[in-house]
Amino acid sequence: MSFSQDVWARNLDLYQATVNHPFNQELAAGTLDKDAFIHYVIQDAHYLLAYGRSLAVTGAKAYHPDDVIQFTEGAKGAIVVERSLHDGFMADFGISQAQFENTPLSMACHHYVSFLQATAWSETFPVVLAALLPCYWIYAQVGNDIVAKSAPNNPYQKWVDTYVSDEFQQAVEKVLQTIDKLAENADANTLEKMHAAYTRGAELEWLFWDSAYKRETWPHMIK
């Protein structure tokens, strides 16, 4: 069994909980509270900048020149999507640049990007890639799952379209091929670390949506 088949099976319950999370179900139905989506978009812009930085470090650690290209282009792609959030959703939902800049990273976002950056800088390429994989793969899968259910004139349709696009889906396929090849040559200790990194990333994906759904703020900021 390939690493990707194995890791997907091991984390299936967590994936089901993610796709069935009310944030994603209401996003598909078009009924998601506008303020929950605004919370999400602001945090996701913070997230994508940090994710882009993690991808750039990953590119530097890659073994094969093709992978250097893939992950440095991925880093650029994350920033392109981050910028499109400002010109797209933030403009559409009336979020000003000042509101974005004055909103600190949520606990969930801070936790997730700290995990990604620490892993990117300190672990070996196969383990780093396993930490980065949930971001790619879970979004591609959630997009595929909810596109079929998406309501007509869904105000969140553009979000769904980003992740079901051929470009994004093909990028995910390439990452899966790369990680499966790495796993074939990995020793038992590396494989164990890869599984742990993937699961932690997948847990943080769930938490990121849950945090937006609850419009989480830091406890000391609650007025």
Ligand X SMILES: Cc1ncc(CO)c(N)n1
Which residues are CB-contacts of 188 (< 8 A; sequence separation ≥ 6)?
none
Question: How many residues touch ligand TZE (CB under 6 A)?
Answer: 7
Identify the residue among 36, 78, 120, 186 touching ligand TZE (CB under 6 A). Answer: 78
Q: Does 208 bind ligand X (CB under 6 A)?
A: yes
Distance CA 79, CA 73 (A): 10
SS3 sequence, 48-97?
HHHHHHHHHHHHHHCCCHHHHHHHHHHHHHHHHHHHHHHHHHHHHCCCCH
Length of the chain: 223
Q: Does 129 bind ligand X (CB under 6 A)?
A: no
Q: Which of 17-25, 72-80, 146-154, 190-198 is the region at the interface with ligand TZE (rule: CB under 6 A)?
A: 72-80
Q: Does 40 bind ligand X (CB under 6 A)?
A: no
- Give the E-state strand segments of the chain in sequence order: none
Nearer to ligand TZE, 82 or 123 (CB): 82
DSSP state of 218: -
**Which entry of ligand X, ligand TZE, none binds 208, CB below 5 to 8 A by partner kind?**
ligand X
Q: What is the largest CA-CA distance in the chain?
A: 53
3-state secondary structure of 41: helix
Nearer to ligand X, 3 or 137 (CB): 137
Q: Say if CB 174 and CB 66 are below 8 A apart.
A: no
**Which entry of ligand TZE, ligand X, none binds 77, CB below 5 to 8 A by partner kind?**
ligand TZE
Interacting positions 162-191 with ligand TZE (CB under 6 A): 171
Nearer to ligand TZE, 95 or 129 (CB): 129
Contact residues for ligand TZE (CB under 6 A)?
Answer: 74, 77-78, 81, 135-136, 171
Q: Which residues bind ligand X (CB under 6 A)?
A: 44, 47-48, 135, 139, 205, 208
